[in-house]
Structure 1
Amino acid sequence: MSGIVSSTFFSPTHTSRTIARTLAAELAQRLGKAVEETDWTLPAGRGHARALGPDDVLVLGFPVYSGRMPELLEASMAGLTGRGTPAVVAAVYGNRAYEDALLEARDMLTANGFVVTAGGAFIGEHSFSRKVAAGRPDAGDLALARDFAQRAAAKIATGAPAEVAIIGDRPYRDRWPGLVVKPKTTDDCTECMTCAEGCPAGVISFDNPREAGDGCLRCMACVKHCPAGAKYFDDEKLLGFATLLETKFMDRKEPELFV
């Protein structure tokens, strides 16, 4: 069978990347296709037009931001087109709720010529807390992801996979207005530039990584990936939300899968 499995993801803290790669590898093996990867995490990787054909398969992985797809992916999604191309969508959320994000992704892909054959809501460690869903996706999550991909592959292999029903509401929930915040830096900073190189919003200065411009996504990539532990946020509302998560959303949730 010709065509590729296009593993496409936006993944500041690497949880969505892990799920997308797991799904793509299993689909490729089952369908006899090669995997090609498109990383939308950094600004240079986003916004390019891409077209997939009927023999290709799209795997799309992204984190849930307040029950929605990340807003900064809109241009990339608009430039992604298919011609009856099967798609498998994975929304990764931090053990609170994924709300309308999975449905929103399906609607956007359907409008652009894809047939969303399967969709899953997976759990990843919350970006605001290392305690909420710590270490996830874990081995159990990845086993479920592989089984999910096997079922999706069997559906795709029929040659005429039907669009999957996915829960969510229309109109989608309003986007959280968010907070105008910036990461701060302690004296432990070694100027290794890991934060600047990995900032999805491109707001951390390469001249001085202790400085950040406007437009922070609060994705926490700089905090979680700093080898010196020098990045932090001290906004009271953000810290209050993290405390809420650690109070009310510690019980383990399992992936919800639609095939």
Structure 2
Amino acid sequence: MKDHPVRNSIYNVYFSPTKATQKIAYEVADAIAADRDLTSIAINLTKPKSRPVRAGGQENDVFLFAFPVYSGRVPAVLIDCIDQFEGDGAKAVVVGVYGNRHYDDALLEAADLLGERGFKVIAAGAFIGEHSMAPRVGAGRPDADDLAVAAQFGHDVAALIEQGATETPAIKGNRPYRDGMPDTGARPATTDACTKCGICVKLCPMGIIDADDPAQVADGCLQCNACVKGCPQDAKRFEGEQAAAIVAMLEGNCLERKEPELFL
């Protein structure tokens, strides 16, 4: 595990298999860093070898925790990571990126988990990204308007810090949290178009795609679709009745544009 002991910094900590969360995280973190004259430290939790990592802060540091929302919850793969975080009074900001359905209890859950680790959560934001399973849902998100909102959110957070804010705002969500994503054993299929280039192997945040035979995918798939979106041959896809039903539900109910929700 790696230590990141730099003080007077903003820690931009994110998990982002398809880059949508990363885009939002950098907009928010860069705005806070500029306004507060902080050193920005990026900690990317996406790749398996980057987890877990000890990270945290001191009283004058800011800790941004950004993640994609999976089934209305914080991705289960990040819970062990959060257990390694140490707040020590640092102010924290929660950012969740969801696929235009709903973020449900994810922001509240993240705020609770960080609070338990000694952080003072002073703000949270729910942003929209293209849905991993249904590209028509949230297509092209985050877009320029989303990124502008994210940057302004960062400036507003910096202003809160200047004012000495320490209280957690009223964040939408419920306790107990909704059930998380069930383990259905779903995993992407691989077509004959696969050239074994290895791109999907490198992109998989769980490290479960076989390097010698990328058609072999072990248990533990998050259905993040990083391999699907990143394959230059379009050789990876989710197939079958279950995947089709999920896409149909999302396209039937979630095409109307949603806007970011901010809690300050």
- Specify the alignment match of 2:156 in structure 1: 151
Per-residue deviation, residues 169-217 of structure 1 (Å, max 9, x unmatched): 0000112324212211112212221100010111101111121111111
- Specify the alignment match of 2:260 in structure 1: 255
**How far 1:160 moved relative to its partner?**
4.2
Q: Tell me if 1:183 matches 2:197.
A: no
Counterpart of 2:45 (choices 40, 47, 54) is 40
Q: Secondary structure of 2:125's match?
A: strand
Q: Secondary structure of 1:44's match?
A: helix
Q: Does the 8 Å contact 1:12/1:219 carry over to 2?
A: yes
Residues 90-105 of structure 1: matches in 2 within 5 Å? Answer: 90-105=95-110
Which consecutive unaligned segments of at least 5 residues does structure 2 have? 1-6
Alignment TM-score, normalising by the size of structure 1: 0.97
CA distance in 2, matches of 1:239, 1:37: 37
Q: Does the 8 Å contact 2:122/2:165 carry over to 1?
A: no
Alignment TM-score, normalising by the size of structure 2: 0.95
CA distance in 2, matches of 1:173, 1:193: 36
- Specify the alignment match of 2:137 in structure 1: 132
The alignment covers a number of residue pairs equal to 258
Q: Secondary structure of 1:206's match?
A: coil
Identity %: 45
Q: Does the 8 Å contact 2:56/2:90 carry over to 1?
A: no
Per-residue deviation, residues 61-116 of structure 1 (Å, max 9, x unmatched): 10111111001111000101111111111110000010100000000001111111
CA distance in 1, matches of 2:166, 2:144: 29
CA distance in 1, matches of 2:234, 2:82: 34
**How far 1:50 moved relative to its partner?**
2.0
CA distance in 2, matches of 1:48, 1:146: 27
Which consecutive unaligned segments of at least 5 residues does structure 1 have? none
**How far 1:247 moved relative to its partner?**
1.2
Q: Secondary structure of 2:147's match?
A: helix
Residues 17-96 of structure 1: matches in 2 within 5 Å? Answer: 17-96=22-101
CA distance in 1, matches of 2:103, 2:128: 9
Q: Tell me if 1:174 matches 2:155.
A: no
Shift >6 Å, 4+ stretches = none
Q: Which amino acid aligns with 1:151?
A: D
CA distance in 1, matches of 2:165, 2:147: 27
Mark the CA change 1:55 to 1:174 in structure 2 (over 3 Å): closer, same or farther: same
Q: Does the 8 Å contact 2:108/2:171 carry over to 1?
A: yes
Counterpart of 2:238 (choices 203, 228, 233) is 233
Counterpart of 2:111 (choices 106, 127, 136) is 106
Residues 214-225 of structure 1: matches in 2 within 5 Å? Answer: 214-225=219-230
Q: Secondary structure of 2:21's match?
A: helix
Q: Does the 8 Å contact 1:67/1:97 carry over to 2?
A: yes
Q: Which amino acid aligns with 1:148?
A: F
